[in-house]
Amino acid sequence: MSMPFLIVGLGNPGSQYSETRHNAGFWFLDRVAETCGARLRQQTRLQSETARAELFGRDCLLVKPTTFMNHSGQAVRAVMDYFRADAASLLVAYDELDLPPGVARLKRGGGHGGHNGLRDIFRHIADHDFLRLRLGIGHPGNKDAVTPYVLGRATAEQERLMRGSISDAIAALPLVLGNDVPGAMKLLHTETGPGDGI
C-alpha cells in the first residue's frame, strides 16, 4: 500500500461544537475536501472520517478524528499505523490562541504549546517533527477564560478573519505538497494583512 501524505484537522465531533473556535482545524479540513471534491467517510477502525484524494498532484489522506480533541492522538496513531506513515508525511491543522484571528502560520516540530489535541498526539507518536498549521483564534486575555473561549463561537468578524486565513493556508498547500515547505512558509508568513486571502 502506497503511503499518502496525511492532512489532519483537529476539532471536536458533534454539531454543538461545529462552529466553535476550537474547531478551526475541522474548518480547514472541510475546505481542503471542498477544494479537491473529496467526500469524508467514517472509518471506525481509524477513529476518523477520512477521504483519499489527489491534491495538487500529491496522493493525500484527509483526516478528521472522531475522538474528542483531548484524544486526537488515538486517531492519528491509528491512521499512521494503518498507512505505515511517518512524521515527515504528516500535517496537523489546529486552532492557536497565541495568534490573532486572520493569521495562519506553518512550522515543523516544536512543543505542543499547551494545546490538548497536540499534547495527546505527542503521547501517541514518538517523532514530533511533523508539520503544524496554526490557525489564529486570538486569546481572551485571561487564562481562566480560555476554556469557554475556545469552546465558544467566534464573533462574525473573527469568523470572517479565520476563514480568510484558511484561504491563505489553502493557497500555500501546493508548495507544502510539492516539498517546498520554506516557500510555503514565506508565502503564508508574508501575507499583507490578516485573513485577506490570496
pTM of the model: 0.93
**Nearest-angstrom CA–CA distance, 50 and 59:** 13
Task: Find out whether 23 and 109 touch, Cβ atoms under 8 Å.
Answer: no
Q: Is 22 a catalytic residue?
A: yes
Q: What was the pLDDT predicted at 1?
A: 53
Give the integer Cα–Cα distance in Å for 25 and 11.
6
Tell me the angle at which helices 181-189 and 156-177 cross, rounded to the nearest 10 degrees: 150
**In order of start, what are the domains of the chain with their CATH numbers?**
5-189 (3.40.50.1470)
Q: Which of 22, 112, 115, 124 is catalytic?
A: 22
**According to the model, what pLDDT value does residue 2 have?**
73
Q: How far is CA 54 from CA 21, 41, 154, in A?
A: 28, 16, 32
Return the HEC string of 73-115.
HHHHHHHHHHHCCCHHHEEEEEEECCCCCCCEEEEECCCCCCC
Q: Mark out the alpha helices in 7-155 (DSSP H runs).
A: 24-36, 72-83, 116-124, 146-150
Closest CA to 12 of 116, 106, 102: 116
- Divide the 198 residues of the chain into consecutive groups of 10 and give the mean pLDDT of each group: 90 96 98 95 97 95 97 97 96 97 96 92 96 97 94 96 97 96 94 47
